[in-house]
Each structure stands twice: as structure tokens, then as C-alpha cells.
Amino acid sequence: MNTSDETVLLNFIRDIEPLNFDSALANEYISALNSELKKYEILAEIKEHYEEIYNKKLRIENLKIIDKLNIFFDMEIAEDLDEDIKI
């Protein structure tokens, strides 16, 4: 991946609105990865945050795109997608 491709990927990620987690609880969120019980508590919080999202489907689709390891971000394609998807 060249530098401009990395920039497109970073811009794509930055364009995804973050969930409204309490940054003061960041350590608790990270420690929850080691506890099954805490994972369920965090999942409940995630579900609450998703209730506030207007277009859940688009968010999930965008997250799935990032999850694909073999994805190729091309600036022209990204610009076309940006124009096609207007919320």
C-alpha cells in the first residue's frame, strides 16, 4: 500500500463517527477484554450507543470494509463512493 492509499484508508476510518464511549473509562474498556462478565457489560453499553445511531446499516457496512484484510483503497474509487453515499 502506498502513502496515498494509506491516507485514503485513514480518511475512511476517520469519517466513521465514533461511538460515544466515556474516555475516562478507557482503562475499564481495555481490561474488559480479559473478563467474560465485563465483555457482556461493555456489549450492553455498545448496544445502547447503537440505538443512538441514525444509519446503523451504513456504519456496520463500513466497519466490515475495514475488517477485510485484502481491501484496496483507491482515491478515485473512494471519491466515487463518497459521492454515491450521501446521508
pLDDT at 48 over 90: yes
pTM: 0.60
Contacting residues for 59 by C-beta, under 8 A, at least 6 apart: 16, 17, 53
> What's the mean pLDDT in 33-44?
89
**Shared-domain flag, residues 25 and 47:** yes
**Shared-domain flag, residues 27 and 48:** yes
* Cell representation of residue 4: 496515498
The domain in which residue 37 lies consists of 20-52
**Shared-domain flag, residues 35 and 58:** no
**Shared-domain flag, residues 28 and 48:** yes
pLDDT at res. 4:
61
**Shared-domain flag, residues 48 and 34:** yes
Residues of the chain with pLDDT > 90, as a percent, come to: 26
